[in-house]
Structure 1
């Protein structure tokens, strides 16, 4: 059973996550031969102040 963990900066809509889950599930099934019912997609929304790139928090990159 493939489990896909997706970490995103918070702010994506439920519809965007639904579309991403669908696309990831389809790609996984095509690549690994899994059935859609066996693919789990987990979303983790990360606050901008808890994510930094290049030593700078995303909350300061607005």
Structure 2
């Protein structure tokens, strides 16, 4: 069970609540795997700077997650990207 209260998320697994602080905003990027960590970190820095500039967010409040997907698992129009 997931319970939200302001910027804190409480996760319940039949045990006492586990408190996990949540940062906002959260930016999630889905992309094909294979890019270097260096390039992902460079992109994350640029996105963070943009949120700081446009929304006046503090850098420590911005979370960026990279979801890397294998070509066989990325399907467009019914065709896996690995077959293109």
Give unmatched runs, 5+ long, in structure 2: 1-23
Pairwise CA RMSD of aligned residues?
0.8
Higher RCO, 1 vs 2 (CA within 8 Å, ≥6 residues apart) = 1
In structure 1, how many angstroms separate the alpha carbons of the residues matched to 2:38 and 2:79?
29
Provide TM-score, normalisation by structure 1: 0.91
Higher strand share: 2
Q: Please list, as runs of the form range in 1=range in 2, the aligned pairs for 1:22-61 lying within 5 A after superposition.
A: 22-61=45-84
Alignment partners' CA distance in 2, 1:48 and 1:59: 5
Decide which structure has the larger Cα Rg and report it.
2
Aligned residues: 61
TM-score with structure 2 setting the length = 0.69
Q: 30-39 vs 49-58, which deviates more?
A: 49-58
